Amino acid sequence: MDILSRNNVRVFGKGTQAMVFAHGFGCDQNMWRYVTAAFQQDYKIVLFDHVGAGLSDIAAYSKEKYSNLSGYASDLLEICQHLELENCIFVGHSVGAMIGVLAAIQAPEQFEKLILIGPSPSYINDGDYIGGFEPADIHAMLEFMETDYMGWSGAFGPFIMGNPDQPSLGQELTNSFCNTNSTIAKHFARVVFLSDNRLDLPKLKTRSLIMQCDQDMIAPTEVGEYVHKVLKDSTLVHLKATGHCPNVSAPLETISVMEKYLAAV
């Protein structure tokens, strides 16, 4: 199978070092459209869709392969290897961030730096660990999704996006959810929201930037601080942006923080 077609890979930009962007759940590479323009003069931009999202090849989807995040990390590494990328800058949003962490643990030579936007190794509260949700909340959400995916999309799109004063942002995320293959999305949601990658974090050796939003209902402040504490050689920046998707709701701040990190480290 052609890897570039499988993941709808797009490559553009005038630089030599690659900057690879990985989107989050229910989204596709279009969610980076406000950010990539700022970097395409200095970097080779690589965009892709996770299998089951966007214009990826849905025929490539396998429940077995994608039963955990390692299957998605494998795809990311295959893209990098196919394009002969080394020491690239990885930018991941939400679960895309954790996919990048797993890939960098497996093949550290592929990545020079990781930029992690709203990462979460586990969404479920566990003792002193604050993930943001009680187990019953996660299971109720997944059941809602199973019984009424469109209704779930309409309810959770604005919830995840935040920024209620800009309802068009929540509507965009809702539309993105609705345009995703619902069968695959429901399975991916279970993989994402029931995953626990806390024990993987100490294995990461790649330098990383953690970008944490205020009022993020999916990855609260405690999660960002936990990830920063556990990841060696990491930098934590608290954004003024609110919600879970600053790449869409606050792209100028997102770009500014990325530029400062890349220039300083």
pLDDT at 264: 87
pLDDT at 112: 97
Domains: count for the chain: 1
DSSP per-residue codes, the chain: --HHHHTT-EEE-S-SSEEEEE--TT--GGGGHHHHTTTTTTSEEEE---TTSTTS-GGG--TTGGGSHHHHHHHHHHHHHHTT--SEEEEEETHHHHHHHHHHHH-GGGEEEEEEES--SB-B-BTTB--SB-HHHHHHHHHHHHH-HHHHHHHHHHHHH--TT-HHHHHHHHHHHHTS-HHHHHHHHHHHHT-B-TTTGGG--SEEEEEEEET-SSS-HHHHHHHHHHSTTEEEEEEEEESS-HHHH-HHHHHHHHHHHHHH-
pLDDT at 151: 92
pLDDT at 1: 67
pLDDT at 190: 96
Catalytic residue numbers read: 94, 216, 244
CATH number for the domain including 41? Answer: 3.40.50.1820
Domain of residue 243 covers: 3-264
Spell out, as residue ranges, where the chain has pLDDT lower than 70.
1, 265
